Amino acid sequence: MADKQVRTTRVMFLAMLLLGLSSWGCSIGYSAPPNATVYIDSNNEYLAPSCADLMGEPSTFRAMARGQMTVSEAREKGIPRQRECIERGGFSHSRSLPGALLQEFGLLSDRWNEDGSWNW
């Protein structure tokens, strides 16, 4: 009985090790969903909430924004994403394969909620 437990533990350890090694360097990318809320700046470009400091003090972000809409609405209206916010990763992120699996099982949260609000 003890030999079976030791053998099972070894197999599990090797399987986890192989999964970790095989996913090294692999990442899965995620983009803002169409219903994610974004803000329009004075240049008529849209920004993610994480880029609020590009419009001045974060406390005045919503007051300075010209409007709020979803990503899909901004795209339909032809409003471009703010370039610096793109470069900062405001609209996307990536996870390693193990991280993506943990996210799928609900053990890690996504950047966006189901309703389009952001997890910041």
pLDDT(2) > 90 = no
Q: Please check whether residue 46 lies inside any domain of the structure.
A: yes
What residues form DSSP beta bridges with 47? 39
- 19 lies in which domain range? 2-104
Q: Please check whether residue 112 lies inside any domain of the structure.
A: no
pTM for the whole thing? 0.64
Write the CB contacts of 114 (distance below 8 Å, at least 6 apart in sequence). none
Q: Please check whether residue 9 lies inside any domain of the structure.
A: yes
77 compared with 51, residue with greater pLDDT: 77
Tally of structural domains, the chain: 1
CA pair distance 99, 58, nearest whole angstrom: 30
pLDDT digits (tens, 9 = 90+) for 55-78: 665 555 555 567 889 999 999 999
Q: Please check whether residue 59 lies inside any domain of the structure.
A: yes
Q: Please check whether residue 118 lies inside any domain of the structure.
A: no
Q: Please check whether residue 100 lies inside any domain of the structure.
A: yes
Mean pLDDT (the chain) is 80
pLDDT digits (tens, 9 = 90+) for 23-38: 666 777 778 889 998 9
Q: Please check whether residue 7 lies inside any domain of the structure.
A: yes
34: which 2 tokens? Answer: 């169409």
Q: Please check whether residue 114 lies inside any domain of the structure.
A: no
CB distance 118 to 111 below 8 Å: yes
